Amino acid sequence: MLDSYRETLATDRRHLLEQFRFVEPARKVVGVGSVGTRAWIALFLGADDRDPLFLQIKEAEASVLERFLGKSQHGNSGERVVAGQRLMQATSDIFIGWTHVSSGLDGLARDFYVRQLKDWKGSFVIESAVPASAAAYGKACGWTLARAHARSGERVAIAAYLGKSDTFDRALATFAETYADQNERDYQALKDAVDNGRVTAQTGL
């Protein structure tokens, strides 16, 4: 599996990866958006025990759009994910690639994409944000998303569709507020179901 993954990397990235030796894998619990998929962490070591590299090997399933748009041009769903990220992102993870397992632990064939578990990029602490910094962060996210669409779509057509008014901006804001309200209603419904005994909740071990 790792050998086939290496072949998907550019020559310089492959040379860098080969300076590390594979040590051990471990299962990883996935987030809410990936429930039902397999994910692994692979530990590699370089010069010594203080030189680790962690790669995440995450299952990639067929796109939900395939039933509407037909099969992907990529035979491997992991390759499709990687191609999409490389297309949209100005700079992707240097170790991003893909692989295929013909017979996993459950005997089924599965596609995976591979990336660093932690790529050392910075992050924004939303919990401690004040309105001004939250607004700046939102602006940066909007700019980044717009740039990704411009790289992967028809940027002239998108710009023409949006026009110069704030109609689209207001529509997005209305959608965001409506979505947030729905999240609060869903959470309250879940709490009520737990309180009434209709759903059993487990908060930890």
Contact between 33 and 24 (Cβ < 8 Å): no
Question: Are residues 140 and 49 located together in one domain of the fold?
Answer: no
Which among 28, 26, 27, 29 is positioned nearest to 43, based on CA atoms? Answer: 26
Question: Are residues 133 and 104 located together in one domain of the fold?
Answer: no
Question: Are residues 8 and 65 located together in one domain of the fold?
Answer: yes
Expressed in percent and rounded to 5, the helix, strand and coil fractions of the chain are 45, 15, 40
Question: Are residues 10 and 89 located together in one domain of the fold?
Answer: yes
Alpha-carbon gap, residue 137 to 129, rounded angstroms: 9
Q: Does the pLDDT at position 205 exceed 60?
A: no
Instruction: Decide which of 69, 92, 116 is a domain's last residue.
Output: 116
Q: For the segment 157-192, what is each residue's pLDDT rounded down to a tens digit?
A: 999 999 999 999 999 999 999 999 999 999 999 999
- Does some domain include residue 204? no
In the block, residue with structure tokens 């992050």 = 123
pLDDT for the residue 119: 60
Instruction: Decide which of 116, 143, 166 is a domain's last residue.
Output: 116
- The range of the structural domain enclosing residue 35 comes to 2-116
Alpha-carbon gap, residue 166 to 159, rounded angstroms: 13
Question: Are residues 183 and 85 located together in one domain of the fold?
Answer: no
**pTM score of the predicted model:** 0.76
Backbone angles phi, psi at 33, to 5 degrees: -70, -10
* Average pLDDT of the segment spanning 13-28: 95
Q: For the segment 2-16, what is each residue's pLDDT rounded down to a tens digit?
A: 999 999 999 999 999
Q: For the segment 131-146, what is each residue's pLDDT rounded down to a tens digit?
A: 999 999 989 988 988 8
100 DSSP β-pair partners: 111
* Least confident interval from 33-37, 139-143, 152-156, 172-176: 33-37
